[in-house]
Structure 1
């Protein structure tokens, strides 16, 4: 019952609710914080623990294929979201890049990528933490993703 996080990442690189107050003039614009950077997953947890092959798993990142861990997400200022397979591709026939649209909701606490939406927990110049809920066999599992800037 493995969830394909490459597809999940493509459909929704989840995002963000900043700890900074929106009306704080020193707070960076959220579009500026998220845009034009190469984001990669650095951690994924699940709560409650998800049964996988007879074991309860909370560290979903450890279950992911290495070829999914180098995928890159880019949020363009013009509302285009770009997904890049990175250096290693799980499916050699998959395109290297794919694009769709992205946008914030009116309060900039939810990001929609294509047809998927994700709640922003934190957004800084070099870190994104988001949550999304997947219902599996009638149980709601909250996945928390942490994204960082791709190292040069």
Structure 2
């Protein structure tokens, strides 16, 4: 009688162990941070581009041209990005880099862009990121003597 109970108990323990082992996460499964999920889920449309207002740095002035309002930015999960003109084209140097590689620095909450067209490296400080809005700030140094802080807002 005791041996039957021991066999049943050992069988139950083995089955329980197998069930527990089957429920463990795959160690090769990568956890994708929420920031990367939000960035890569859809393309981002330019909503506004601002710079500090001349004479009053506490206020911003919009420098978004009407022809850039339908431009978009897409981040891929493979680490590339592409900035595309919409149907209305304009000659603009506000976002002159059109494609390249990107990564997300979680420690600094920044998007790092490695543009290939033309070759340039940028760091965008993320101010706001959720399912509907991305807002970044960066220093534009096309002309080193005239560094301008720009804030770009994107929407889905």
Shorter-chain TM-score tier:
0.5 to 0.7
Name the structure, 1 or 2, with higher relative contact order (CA <8 Å, separation 6+): 1
Query: TM-score with structure 2 length normalisation?
Result: 0.59
Which residue does the alignment assign to 1:22?
none
Distance 1:106 1:146 in 2: 20
Query: How much is the aligned-residue C-alpha RMSD, in angstroms?
Result: 2.6
Distance 1:59 1:65 in 2: 12
Which residue does the alignment assign to 1:73?
73
SS of equivalent to 2:86: coil
Which residue does the alignment assign to 1:60?
62
**1:40 equivalenced with 2:45 (yes/no):** yes
Length, aligned pairs only: 108
SS of equivalent to 2:50: strand
Distance 2:81 2:146 in 1: 30
More helix per residue: 2
Shift of 1:82: 1.4
**Which sits farther off after the overlay, 139-148 or 110-119?**
139-148
Q: Which has the larger radius of gyration?
A: 2
Shift of 1:68: 1.6
Query: Structure 1 residues 141 and 50 mapped into 2: Cα distance closer, same or farther (>3 Å)?
Result: farther
Which structure 1 residue ranges, 5 or more long, are not aligned? 1-27, 52-56, 92-97
